[in-house]
Structure 1
Amino acid sequence: MKSRETLIRLKRFQLDEKRRKVAQIEMMIADFDRMAVDLEREIQSEEQKAGITDPAHFAYPTYAKAAAQRRDNLKRSADDLKETLDRAQAELAEAVEELKKVEILEDRERGVERAAAGAREQAALDEIALARSARTY
């Protein structure tokens, strides 16, 4: 019984770790997306100041080129993290299933123990009733 309780605690701990990992990855993706949007605004601002929107133009702002490169890198990193997120979510789902299995086994074991305890109690009550009925005769 103790080992099963320890196993359940371990599975819950693992599940919490998987949840934290998923949340952390989601937060990183959101940060990268937010930074990419900010860079996009800066690029548009620089293009408006210069009056040039074609990155191939010789007078295209250098800062806008650098910001576009950083934005593209952030988007690639976010895409890579999305793949990592998919794997982490699959691991999380697996951890949930493992915990459920262990908890179901624990519930079954407790049900069997309760039934056995109930049977013992009923047997004791039957003995008491038989003893009383034997005394009355």
Structure 2
Amino acid sequence: MSSLKSVIRLHKWQLDEKRRALAELQNLGDRLRAEAQRLEEEVVQEQRAASASFEASFTYANYAKAAMERRRRIAQSIAQVDQQIAAATDEMAAAFQELKRFELAEEERLRREKEKIRRKEDAMLDETALVGFRRRQKAAEEAGS
């Protein structure tokens, strides 16, 4: 096994790991966005309940403050995850380019190796044809004498 094959296998594994990490970050971002959406729906329900009931309107102010703080924390987390996703995407793109560079080098090495084998086979065929030609020529000379 050539050293390039080992390097390619290593880079494929690293690329797969980066893809998994990116997928996990994207899932986390999706969960945070879903949580933000649920919070918004909950706030709307609480507003309706507060406007319908006099007693609930007293507790709504405290709920609203807590909900605004949760919304702020979720938005902050989403922003951090989006930054991590951007960084992970860049890392994955770099790893992909690195892998492609080694794959292209391996393809070129194999192409050169096949070309070398083809040249050797051509030389052997040429030698065989030349030997056959000389035998026929010698046989023709002996038959003509």
* CA deviations over 1:9-59 (Å, ceiling 9, x no partner): 00000110111111110110000000010011001111111029xxxx965
C-alpha distance in 2 between matches for 1:131 and 1:49: 103
Q: How does 1:18-97 map to 2 (within 5 A)?
A: 18-51=18-51, 60-97=60-97
Could you say which residue in structure 1 is the equivalent of 2:141? none
User: What's 2:133 paired with?
Assistant: 133
Matches within 5 A, 1:1-16: 2-16=2-16
The share of aligned pairs that are identical, in percent, is 35
Cα distance, 1:65 vs structure 2: 3.0
Using CA pairs under 8 Å that are at least 6 residues apart, name the structure with larger relative contact order, 1 or 2.
2
Distance 1:59 1:89 in 2: 44
Counterpart residue identity of residue 14, structure 1: Q
Which residue in 2 is equivalent to 1:99? 99
Partner of 1:110: 110
Equivalent residues of 2:46, 2:60 under 8 A apart: no
Structure 2 residue runs without a partner (length 5+): 138-145
Return the alpha-carbon distance in structure 1 between the equivalents of residues 43 and 70 of structure 2.
11
How many Å separate the matches in 1 of 2:30 and 2:72? 15
TM value normalised by structure 2: 0.85
TM-superposed deviation, 1:61: 4.2
* Number of residue-to-residue matches in the alignment: 133
Q: CA deviation at 1:70?
A: 1.7
Measured in 1, the distance between the counterparts of 2:62 and 2:109 equals 70
Tell me the amino acid that sits aligned with residue 94 of structure 2.
E
Alignment-derived partner of residue 143 in structure 2: none
Larger helix percent? 2
| Structure 1: gaps spanning 5 or more residues | none
Deviates more, 1:108-117 or 1:68-77: 68-77
Q: CA-atom RMSD, angstroms?
A: 1.7
Select the structure of larger CA radius of gyration. 2
Range that drifts further, 86-95 or 70-79: 70-79
> Is residue 40–residue 68 contact of structure 1 (8 Å, CA) maintained in 2?
no
**Corresponding letter in the other structure for 2:124:** A
